[in-house]
Amino acid sequence: MSAMLAPPPALPLPTRIRSAWFATPGSALVSVGLFLALLYLAWRAFDWAVLDAVGGTHAQTCRAASGACWAVVVDKHRLVLFGRFPPAEQWRPLLASTLLLAGVGIAALPRFFGRVGISMLAATLIAFVVLMAGGVLGLTPVGTNLWGGLPLTLFLALVACLFGVPLGLGLALARRSTLPALRWLATGYIEGVRGVPLITLLFFGAFVLPLMLPPGWRFDAMLRIAICLTLFSAAYLAEVFRGGLQSVGKGQGEAAHALGFTKLQTLSRVVLPQALRVTIASTVNVFIGAIKDTSLVMIVNVYDLTGALKLAMADPPWRPYFVEMYLVVGAIYLALGFGLALYGRFLERRYALK
């Protein structure tokens, strides 16, 4: 038996940069040009955001400035972050958001996958709702119509992803079912939801559904919006999971059946672990989309992070400085999305086929 060849040694970083960016005179010219352009843009951005920027708390201080006006962030950050939640009670959404992020972060660790992680997320959601709604433990009741800002964005995104996964998995299995009625219903739902824009579902849940239900059956508007986001995410996740299920060869199931596995055991112990592993990147992509999709709820008078920004920018003295606030809100969305992307890469490396 011949010995296995050792992998070639890694080249030094300068050598790799030279071969990638400066291999030919043309490549060197393009690389230098792009570097200088990026350096110029970075300097202009730094000059606008730092050197020529002004602070303070009043719009008058910004009128003569040639750079950014960060006073708008100082003055409006509470409205953007917490929406119309009562100012004296804004410690509650701050604590609720912190608990929610901490709970998601801990439950995302591989050691807590399964029942422990799900129980932790459930407890975190219950604590979030208790802190936000109040009415117990001496907390002042606050209606869901006053929820807004970052806590609402986090809550809606987590609900859409957490409940969208099992629903999407069930739809994917139903679409592959041998029962024609079940397969047709799942296919019709998936294609119907994916064929309409999300705003259509939100309008239906916010305005049309209450008209169709008896007065005693009309539940909270926030819950209706969360259900619409969940149903929308589930339809896209169903197609992601269906692709993963199709990647598992039929021989896997036949081998499990030959070993005496039941259909449920074959699905849970053989097929799903392989199918979910190959869909990590696509699933994370849907989760990132769910975070960004929450920005559409402002169209139905639910003031999430983007909706609260619109409220803040309705103040006439601060309207000329909307760029600064949009940059701050964009940075929050970027941090959430980039964090999910990094987590997805971590899972891909951990569960990659060796």
pLDDT attached to residue 67: 83
Decide if 332 is inside a domain: yes
Kindly state the average pLDDT of the residues 165-190: 93
User: CA 119 → CA 107, 154, 176, 285, distances in Å?
Assistant: 9, 18, 30, 24
Contacts 24+ apart (CB under 8 A), 110-119: 110/350
Kindly state the average pLDDT of the residues 37-52: 91
Judge whether 120 and 106 are in contact, CB under 8 Å: yes
pLDDT attached to residue 133: 92
Q: Name the 3-class secondary structure at 140.
A: coil
pLDDT in tens, 58-104: 777 787 777 888 888 888 889 999 999 999 999 999 999 999 999 99
Residues 139, 144, 149, 152: what is their CA dihedral angle, to the nearest 10 degrees?
100
- Chain position carrying tokens 């422990």: 116
What does pLDDT average to over the chain? 88
pLDDT in tens, 151-169: 999 999 999 999 999 999 9
Kindly state the average pLDDT of the residues 193-211: 89
pLDDT attached to residue 98: 95
Which H or E element spans position 207? none
Kindly state the average pLDDT of the residues 225-239: 95
pLDDT attached to residue 353: 64
In angstroms, the CA 349 to CA 224 distance is 37
Buried b (16+ CB within 10 A) or exposed e, 49-61: eeeebeeeeebee
Decide if 3 is inside a domain: no
Write phi, then psi, for 143 (nearest 5 degrees).
-70, 155
The one-character DSSP state at 12 is P
Taking alpha carbons only, the member of 219, 324, 208, 230 closest to residue 286 is: 230
Decide if 146 is inside a domain: yes
CATH of the domain at 260: 1.10.3720.10
Decide if 18 is inside a domain: no
Judge whether 302 and 152 are in contact, CB under 8 Å: yes
Q: Which two tokens stand for residue 181?
A: 């009625």
pLDDT attached to residue 37: 95
Decide if 258 is inside a domain: yes
Between residues 70 and 21, the one the model is more confident about: 70
Decide if 44 is inside a domain: no
Judge whether 329 and 306 are in contact, CB under 8 Å: yes
pLDDT interval class at 183 (50, 70, 90): very high
Decide if 54 is inside a domain: no
pLDDT attached to residue 1: 42
pLDDT interval class at 9 (50, 70, 90): low
pLDDT in tens, 288-305: 999 999 999 988 888 999
Residue 151 domain boundaries: 72-350
Q: Residue 272: which residues within 8 A CB-CB, separation 6 or more?
A: 169
**Confidence check: pLDDT of 316 > 90:** no
Q: How many helices (H) and strands (E) does the chain have?
A: 16, 0
**Confidence check: pLDDT of 7 > 60:** no
Between residues 103 and 212, the one the model is more confident about: 103
The pTM (predicted TM-score) of the whole model is 0.88
In angstroms, the CA 92 to CA 17 distance is 50
User: CA 46 → CA 49, 73, 250, distances in Å?
Assistant: 5, 18, 57
Choice among 56-70, 172-186, 227-241 with the minimum mean pLDDT: 56-70
**SS3 assignment for 212-254:** HCCHHHCCCHHHHHHHHHHHHHHHHHHHHHHHHHHCCCHHHHH
Decide if 155 is inside a domain: yes
Between residues 18 and 228, the one the model is more confident about: 228
pLDDT attached to residue 2: 46
Choice among 232-236, 255-259, 272-276, 309-313 with the minimum mean pLDDT: 255-259
Share of the chain above pLDDT 90, in %: 52
Q: State the total domains in the chain.
A: 1
Taking alpha carbons only, the member of 263, 287, 250 closest to residue 168 is: 287
